[in-house]
Amino acid sequence: MASAEQAFGIEQKDKEIKIFFQDEGRFGRINRIYSCWCPIGIRPIVAQQMIREFIYAYSSVCPATGETFSLVMPEVNLEAMNIYLEEMSKMYRNCRIIIVLDCAGWHTSEKLKKPDNIRLISLPPRSPELNPAEHIWDYIREKFFKNYIFKTIEDVMDTLCKGLKSLIDIKDVVKSLTGFGWIF
């Protein structure tokens, strides 16, 4: 069996290896109605909005450390994924990164530009339950988007960025959301 150093094909003695799980989440101006607390005898009124404007969060999470890396993009496609990988490579330039992700077309394309310090491993097809990054979206939707309507897509982006930034300060929560037993 090849060591991690051999798998990267270069000398790795001074490089830390980190394993991340990556996913994309769609956020927009169509809101979901969630249950909410209200005093007895009062019926809560929650507005619903059905405007089809979306932005996408590309995020990776390291269940071992609780680290996250995210970018907000206008689309999910090969070009956006290439930008994401390039930026993640720069952020972790002193590390070797293994990213586990789903089999989306832009993840498996021959035209995907894979930086030298990043290796990609695909999860089995149609298995989102194996990707701990999926739990990040539930957390952000519950904490930042619950029963809220947005006037503009820029408001959605501001709220999404606030949610993604909050993950940086709560590494223990991220670890508890994403630390699946089979990973360790």
What is the structure's pLDDT at 115?
A: 97
What is the structure's pLDDT at 88?
A: 98
Instruction: For each of the domains in the chain, give its residue range(s) and CATH number, in order of start.
Output: 14-178 (3.30.420.10)
What is the structure's pLDDT at 1?
A: 45
pLDDT digits 0-9 by tens, 116-160: 999 999 999 988 899 999 999 999 999 999 888 899 999 999 999
Mean pLDDT of 14-29: 92
Mean pLDDT of 109-115: 96
How far is Cα 12 from Cα 37, in angstroms, rounded to an integer? 53
Share of the chain above pLDDT 90, in %: 70
- Tell me the whole-structure pTM to 2 decimals: 0.84
Mean pLDDT of 41-45: 81
Q: Which residue has the higher pLDDT, 116 or 15?
A: 116
Which of 34, 62, 98 has the alpha carbon at shortest distance from 177?
62
What is the structure's pLDDT at 6?
A: 53
Q: Using 50, 70 and 90 to split pLDDT, how confident is the model at 71?
A: very high
Please name every residue paired with 121 in a beta bridge, in sequence order, or none if there are none: 100
Q: Using 50, 70 and 90 to split pLDDT, how confident is the model at 183?
A: confident
Which strand ranges, in their side-by-side order, compose the sheet holding 95-101? 67-73, 50-62, 16-30, 95-101, 118-122
Q: Are 56 and 74 in contact (CB under 8 A)?
A: yes
